[in-house]
Amino acid sequence: MAGSRAAIRYAKAIIGLANDQNAAEAVNDDMKLIKNTIAESGDLRALLENPIVKSDVKVAALKEIFKGINTVSEGLFNLLSDYKRVDILGSIAEKYIILYEEQKGKQVAVVTTAIPLTGELEQKVLAKVKELSGKDVTLENKIDENIIGGFILRMGDIQYNASVANKLNALKRSFSNSL
């Protein structure tokens, strides 16, 4: 949770700096690239999360991997290195994208499911989310097999957890409290 709060703070600072330098869109593209690259590369995630690897080695690797990105995005690497927070770069990128979309009048709804959504189901969820929020919504589907079934819908600060794992945990808590 603390990493999440820190990621939001860094993302807000970066979007503020990017807006001041009229580079918010370029930085958004960089953050999408960073988020996707970290999500797809287990080796990169392991490098960033490894406490034994020095921060300057992590930053050198990031600068090599993400050559040609905006100076604001590259400056984030150095800032995170200074404060030993390089491990939350992926979360910062994710939070930045959400803040950027909100700034543009759009909202990102993240739906976590055990299996990928079908096109038809994705359209139904998107229509319902648009109806509820009254905003232009972009739907992002995350896959997490640990939820077993059902879904978790997150829009901004609101989360609706209708996962099977959540229901099983609630049942487990109920049984243990009644003993």
Return the CATH number at 89.
Answer: 1.10.520.20
- Per run of 10 residues, the mean pLDDT along the chain (length 179 residues) is 79 95 95 93 92 92 94 93 92 91 84 90 87 82 89 84 89 86
Number of domains into which the chain is organized: 2
Same domain? 85 vs 123: no
Query: End of a domain among 34, 68, 101?
Result: 101
Same domain? 24 vs 97: yes
Query: End of a domain among 101, 126, 145?
Result: 101
Query: End of a domain among 101, 121, 150?
Result: 101
How high is the pLDDT of residue 110? Answer: 87
Same domain? 53 vs 113: no
Same domain? 142 vs 70: no
Same domain? 75 vs 19: yes
Domain limits for position 20: 2-101
Same domain? 141 vs 67: no
How high is the pLDDT of residue 1? Answer: 43
Same domain? 78 vs 119: no
Distances in whole angstroms, Cα of residue 39 to Cα of each of 10, 31, 104: 19, 12, 25
- Spatial CB neighbours of 73, under 8 Å, sequence gap ≥ 6: 14, 27, 30, 31, 34, 66
Same domain? 96 vs 136: no
Burial class (CB in 10 A: 0-12, 13-18, 19+), 52: exposed
Q: Supply the pTM of this predicted model.
A: 0.70
Same domain? 15 vs 86: yes
Same domain? 141 vs 93: no
